Amino acid sequence: MNEGLYILYWIVVIACLSLIFLTALLTIFIVMFQKSNSDGIQGITASSETFFGKHRGNSMEAKLKKWTWICLAVLAVLAITVYVIQIIAP
């Protein structure tokens, strides 16, 4: 492998790994902001939820869920890209 391709290889790998790191951090923060699906100890009590109590934050929760899946897809694509580049490069 000549010098130019070697430098390009490392630039691409370092850029992909940096994007993987940033995407993973973003995914962690997005998941931390999401509301838990389990009721926990509240499931024992027989309190009735109103319609507004149940669906109050669905729009924000739906956006967070959508962004979680987008970040995970980007993370998977970047990981596969780095893997393929490392197989092809030697």
* pLDDT tens digits for range 9-24: 999 999 999 999 999 9
Give the Cβ contact number of residue 32 at 10 Å.
8
Q: What is the pLDDT of residues 21-74, one digit of tens each?
A: 999 999 999 999 888 766 555 556 555 555 555 665 568 888 889 999 999 999
Count Cβ atoms within 10 A of the Cβ of residue 71 and give its class: 0-12 exposed, 13-18 middle, 19 or more buried: buried
Number of domains in the chain: 1
The dihedrals phi and psi of 50, each to the nearest 5 degrees, come to -85, 170
77 within a domain of the structure (yes/no): yes
CA distance 90 to 81: 15
43 within a domain of the structure (yes/no): no
79 within a domain of the structure (yes/no): yes
Place of tokens 């109590």: 53
Q: How confident is the model at residue 83 (pLDDT cuts 50, 70, 90)?
A: very high
Q: What is the pLDDT of residue 35?
A: 80
Q: How confident is the model at residue 90 (pLDDT cuts 50, 70, 90)?
A: low
